[in-house]
Structure 1
Amino acid sequence: MNFRRAREEEISVNLTPLIDVVFLLLIFFMVTTTFTRETQLEVELPQVQTENVLGNDERIDVVIDAQGGIEINNQLLINTQFDTLKRALETVIQPGNVQVVVITTDKQTPAQSLMHVMDAVGQLGHSRIAFAAQLESE
Structure 2
Amino acid sequence: MKLSRTRPHHTLAFNMTPMIDIVFLLIIFFMTVSQITRTVDHPVELPRVVEGASESKTATVTINLNEKGSVIVAGKVLSQQEVVTAIQAQLEKMDNDPDRIRIQIRCDRNCLSKFVNQLVNRLSTMGFRKVRCAVADQ
TM-score by length of 2: 0.48
For the pair shown, which has the larger CA radius of gyration, 1 or 2? 2
Structure that is richer in helix per residue: 2
TM-score by length of 1: 0.48
